[in-house]
Amino acid sequence: MKLSKTFPWTILFSLLLIFASCSDDDDSSGSNGGNGSGTPPPSIAEFATFDLSGAIDTSHSGISVATNDITSSGSLFTFEHMKPIGEAGGTWKLTFLYNRPDTFEVKIGVYVIGSQEDFDQGAADFTATYIEEMSQDLLGWNPIDVVSGIVEVLEYNEPFIEGTFELMFSNSPHGELSVANGIFKSRYFENHH
């Protein structure tokens, strides 16, 4: 299964982000998060904020990282937006995934998010997954569900990628889920294997 390759990298980059976000702690405002409408959490250089509606109605603000693992057989590129480690409350994570035999190059522009079928047929640039822990239950939306949306890269100045996103998960056992007002500033890592 293609997605299993991302698990070790997810752990590695989560640990890197712990150290990166702790190294610049200047939280004199007493605030610990954004509002889901474009305000980044203080002291986090890489961030994502977005609003959820439908099966879950809330706003999230957290850390964001983009990784591009390049091998001779192609690219595994991910945008991962997740809850900061150590923050109270349940786990949440929104991931956009590109896994093709060609090499993904970051460029300013609009990218289409689609279902796994759309992605396999070349009609989408990314698939998407979302997980959230609620009352001891882990709810998940994945590319098998009907997914539609966009990611727009507005700026790329190494090591950061900045942009916006919105998407909709439908036809899921957990119900429809809309992700709106998404903005991100992802720290970009490129690995050649």
- Neighbouring residues of 34: CB distance < 8 A, sequence distance ≥ 6: 40, 41, 47, 49, 61
> In the chain, how many domains are there?
1
**Higher per-residue pLDDT: 65 or 137:** 65
Q: Is the pLDDT of residue 133 over 60?
A: yes
Structural domain contains residue 109: yes
User: Which residue range(s) make up the domain with 69?
Assistant: 2-23+38-192
Structural domain contains residue 31: no
End-to-end CA distance of the chain: 19
DSSP 8: H
Structural domain contains residue 180: yes
Cα–Cα distance list, 129 to 70, 96, 106, 143 (Å): 21, 7, 20, 6
Reported as a single tens digit per residue, the pLDDT across 33-86 is: 334 444 444 455 789 999 999 988 999 999 999 999 998 888 889 889 888 877
Structural domain contains residue 30: no
Q: What is the pLDDT of residue 85?
A: 79
